[in-house]
Amino acid sequence: MTGVTISRAGTEPEGDIVPAANGDLVTRSVKAIGTTAVVAVTDASFAERSESILREELDAIDATCSRFRGDSELASLHKSGGRSIKVSPLLFEAIRVALEVAELTGGAVDPTVGRSLESLGYNRDFEEVLRDDTALEAHDPPPGWQIVELDPMRRMVRVPEGVHLDLGASAKALVADRAAGRIADQSRCGVLVSVGGDVAVAGKAPEGGWPIGIAVDSSAPTRFVDQVVSIVSGGLASSSTAVRTWTRGTRRLHHIVDPATGEPAVPYWTLVSATGRTCVEANAASTASIVWGHGALEGLETLGQAARLLRFDGKVFTVNGWPEDSTDMATAAGGER
């Protein structure tokens, strides 16, 4: 089980993700890594420092793991010609976490899909992707996460020549976990960090927990969210086939690749939200569920993580104790409404 307590929130949040003000609770937002990141703390005196820490963590993950920066450390690894090279502690951690996620999900979330995403046109900042309509490149399925070699003792990584890693999903969740943990350690207060809607919390939660709106678009105003739940520990993440979409010719594409084919996963689920002991664990479950398609309910039961799944036809499924919907009554774990 996840170790996360999740419940239906007693009140609607006053902001898009968390309350903007609730006693001493304050929030700050930052634009970075192609998305919006938010930090909330229960001690108002630590608001400025929490924003500074979040910016530092976001800048570090971008400089280290970005596929879109020619000067990133990941880009240098891709240019290593298949040699084993020593990398920074942060890049080693990000790759190690990505491989752990791949193993946990049976390869459904695989970091070796980088070339596939590039061939599908997602090879630059997303705003530029939307303006491009060049023809798609032919490509083979990714080679699989097992070909990446790690040497923890020497902090060495080997990626075969021609293989490009995409650390996007797990690295975004990792930076949420890192920032939340670091802020809580320094402030000794309750902290929530959301990076593009992937949430990590640390420290003592406010009374009633952290209310989080569930919606296809993580930036949707509160009045448009599908459900409001609250968590007191761990993480919560959502994955969708309806955002970060673009077109090439007559094809509508999205950013979650099925490693078995190298193509965007079949959009069986429009939105999957899942909890975890960490944001990384929650993101692994939500992303894998998109790839698993109709097999996601069984996969999630095995992982033991609470989740809510919105199917292409609008039906909602819940597993492992996800609370009832705010508007319609959902049945028990594994049920349908």
CATH number, domain containing residue 124: 3.10.520.10
List beta partners, residue 248: 251
In a domain, 335, yes or no: no
3-state secondary structure 189-246: CCEEEEECCEEEEECCCCCCCEEEEECCCCCCCHHHCCEEEEECCEEEEEEECCCCEE
112 in a domain, yes or no?
A: yes
Is 245 part of a structural domain of the chain? yes
Other C-beta atoms lying within 10 Å of the C-beta of residue 204: 14
Tell me the residue range of the domain where 246 lies.
Answer: 6-319
Predicted TM-score (pTM) of this structure: 0.89
pLDDT score recorded for residue 2: 41
Residue 313 lies in a domain: yes
User: Helices (H), strands (E): how many in the chain?
Assistant: 8, 18
Residue 39 lies in a domain: yes
**Which pLDDT does position 6 carry in this prediction?**
58
Query: Looking at this protein, which amino acid is placed at residue 33?
Result: I
Q: What is the total count of domains within the chain?
A: 1
Residue pair 185/178 in contact by the 8 Å Cβ criterion? no
Q: Is residue 72 part of a domain?
A: yes
- In this structure, is residue 35 part of a structural domain? yes
Would you say residue 332 lies in a domain?
no
- Cα–Cα distance measured from residue 28 to residue 285, given in angstroms and rounded to the nearest whole number: 28
Nearest to 13 by CA among 241, 237, 192, 176: 192
Per-residue pLDDT of the chain (337 residues; tens, 9 = 90+): 344 555 555 544 333 444 433 445 789 999 988 889 999 999 999 999 999 999 999 999 999 999 999 999 999 999 999 999 999 999 999 999 999 999 999 999 999 999 999 999 887 776 776 777 777 777 889 999 999 999 999 999 999 999 999 998 899 999 999 999 999 999 999 999 999 889 999 999 999 899 998 988 766 666 678 899 999 999 999 999 998 888 887 788 899 999 999 999 999 999 999 999 999 999 999 999 999 999 999 999 999 999 999 999 999 999 999 987 644 333 333 344 3
User: Do the beta carbons of residue 11 and residue 206 sit within 8 Å?
Assistant: no
Q: HSE-up of 296 (CA within 13 Å, CB side)?
A: 34
CB 67 within 8 A of CB 125: no
SS3 263: strand
